[in-house]
Structure 1
């Protein structure tokens, strides 16, 4: 109801009663001494996160909307003709689902960042969402709207991450290569996702993770060894047959090199986890000499973005027109601004184009 109410206001209310409504609404906000300085914002159908932002802003102005029903008769009459005014139950429902929507909203913000590494936090968000869903299921009555929504989301969650073979194993390996978590955290997280007392899926995923990590390490080790052999070919030493007729020294060098490479992975996993505030890229840069093979793996895996939002936003014209600082625009005004800018860019006269952009 609240969502429909706000949509109705934007389509029929604010544009129609722009003078009286805004003035009366502002007075209601002042009388209720609402400290939140943001405005109610418009919901965008193609961006589900905007639903949370709209409901969050509206809920913070709850008392202003309640008082507005008594001070603005035109607002009450217009809504009364159609969808009706928001009831106490409507506001209670919004308040109950906001914590649930906030879980996904904050997770989306973290994995869609473009100024830091995101590949190592994807699985952390998957675990965090699962824990959040379980918390809501345990802390709400089975008949509540929040419980029913959480139960539906749990089924949707299990559709994508409910089985061991549905996980991208590289995303798990990246968490292991994060010195703040390593294998200990991943084993704990897998137990959270798959209860070891109910299923052996957790054991299957742990085994798959351990095997894949060792295979990946062996693959990079062979590449590194090939590069070393190419370098050594430029400095070929003729073996002294008289002092080493059976090649024992060469054999011992090969065994020592293999042991050092195996010890690198074991040493990294057995070391204590790092501080929670460390910069993962800086850490691997500073420790590349200690873990040369693992640092090569981390270097190539950490650059993978787990979301295309940052790239889509870079080419989004609407994102530059409709942002948190200009969220009060109606759909018609947003469309007019985007179309006008598109027409100006298509102008064949360079001098006229530059003039219009300077004026804007």
Structure 2
């Protein structure tokens, strides 16, 4: 609304001359405040578009954007304008209330972005927290990563034990069974028995020690899930864990659709639906549109 009002800055005086009941005419000082407020809110608007998108996973993008807000608030907290200082002060109180503590889901998801890994945690935490808090929070993230990974390792090993794999045949079995005369079955069983042994370095350790993936294109066009899909054979266990974590939506529905679609879903005849059912309707609609490449049409204001 403020950005639109700026475009009609010269129209307000003419409207005041024609409409005698118009009493909210902004003075030059008000327009200066509008300019400064828009500079701040434009950052929030850009972050909202990134985080609330429903076309790609966004949980791995959240930490960098929260860090961006933190740096903006710290920079403008000592603004020369008293009005801006007062506004930023109220915003910092709410920000510290919600983000003063380390969000493990947000941090773990960002680490699983191949462009970031633990380097993004080291970079952001050292600027968002004190030295002691930064070290403690980094240690918490590492501990959470390994705990989650160990659960997936146990599940993976348990699944292999009950997978019903064919045991390795001896030479007599191979010679007596014409179906295995190629010799590939014996070698395949040998490989499976070797691969079942615990590797010296886990998928998680190998992933964290490797260099970050450098993506040269638009950062907003990078899909972390697609990257992990192509790395499934390299990180067999870690890829399963990553698919589950990165698929967690930061918001259940895009911010614009919250208001535009809510009235259609919760109609007069559906007021008794449970919140979980309504959420399922909204998510299913977004998933179907994304699956078939259907984009929502933006409303054109006349």
Alpha-carbon RMSD: 2.6
Once the two structures are superposed, the pairs formed by residues 190-269 of structure 1 within 5 Å of their partners are 190-196=125-131, 200-231=132-163, 233-236=164-167, 257-260=197-200, 262-269=201-208
User: Partners of 2:233 and 2:260 in 1: how far apart?
Assistant: 37
C-alpha offsets along residues 178-212 of structure 1, whole Å, 9 cap, x if unaligned?
A: 0011101111111111031xxx2212211110101
What residue is the counterpart of 1:300 in the other structure?
244
Give, in angstroms, the shift of residue 118 of structure 1: 1.3
What residue is the counterpart of 1:178 in the other structure?
113
What residue is the counterpart of 1:56 in the other structure?
3
Give, in angstroms, the shift of residue 151 of structure 1: 1.6
Report if the CA contact (8 A) 2:109-2:245 is conserved. yes
C-alpha offsets along residues 279-333 of structure 1, whole Å, 9 cap, x if unaligned?
A: 3122111111011111001111111111134263562359xxxx6522x6xxxxx
What residue is the counterpart of 1:78 in the other structure?
21
What residue is the counterpart of 1:116 in the other structure?
56
User: Partners of 1:115 and 1:55 in 2: how far apart?
Assistant: 28
Higher Cα Rg, which structure: 1
> In the superposition, relative to structure 1, how do residues 129 and 144 fare at CA in structure 2: closer, same or farther (>3 Å)?
same
User: Partners of 2:82 and 2:241 in 1: how far apart?
Assistant: 47
C-alpha offsets along residues 212-268 of structure 1, whole Å, 9 cap, x if unaligned?
A: 10011111011111111123x4434699xxxxxxxxxxxxx79983234x4321111
Gaps of 5+ in 1: 1-53, 240-252, 329-360
| TM-score in terms of structure 1 length | 0.61
User: Partners of 2:84 and 2:300 in 1: how far apart?
Assistant: 31
C-alpha offsets along residues 10-56 of structure 1, whole Å, 9 cap, x if unaligned?
A: xxxxxxxxxxxxxxxxxxxxxxxxxxxxxxxxxxxxxxxxxxxx110
C-alpha offsets along residues 103-152 of structure 1, whole Å, 9 cap, x if unaligned?
A: 222222211111111111122221111111122225x21x4211221121
The secondary structure found in structure 2 opposite 1:158 is helix
Report if the CA contact (8 A) 1:163-1:201 is conserved. no
C-alpha offsets along residues 42-86 of structure 1, whole Å, 9 cap, x if unaligned?
A: xxxxxxxxxxxx1101112212324544xxx332x211xxx3421
Bigger RCO (CA 8 Å, 6+ sep)? 2
User: Partners of 2:101 and 2:300 in 1: how far apart?
Assistant: 42
User: Partners of 1:157 and 1:109 in 2: how far apart?
Assistant: 19
What residue is the counterpart of 1:65 in the other structure?
12
Q: How many residues align?
A: 241
Gaps of 5+ in 2: 171-192, 265-297
Give, in angstroms, the shift of residue 273 of structure 1: 0.9
Say whether 1:153 aligns with 2:107: no
Report if the CA contact (8 A) 1:100-1:146 is conserved. no
User: Partners of 1:280 and 1:101 in 2: how far apart?
Assistant: 28
Among 36, 40, 43, the alignment partner of 1:96 is 36
> In the superposition, relative to structure 1, how do residues 144 and 159 fare at CA in structure 2: closer, same or farther (>3 Å)?
same
> In the superposition, relative to structure 1, how do residues 84 and 218 fare at CA in structure 2: closer, same or farther (>3 Å)?
closer
Report if the CA contact (8 A) 2:12-2:25 is conserved. no
User: Partners of 1:254 and 1:204 in 2: how far apart?
Assistant: 39
Among 311, 318, 325, the alignment partner of 2:300 is 325
What residue is the counterpart of 2:261 in the other structure?
315
Say whether 1:163 aligns with 2:101: yes
What residue is the counterpart of 1:280 in the other structure?
224
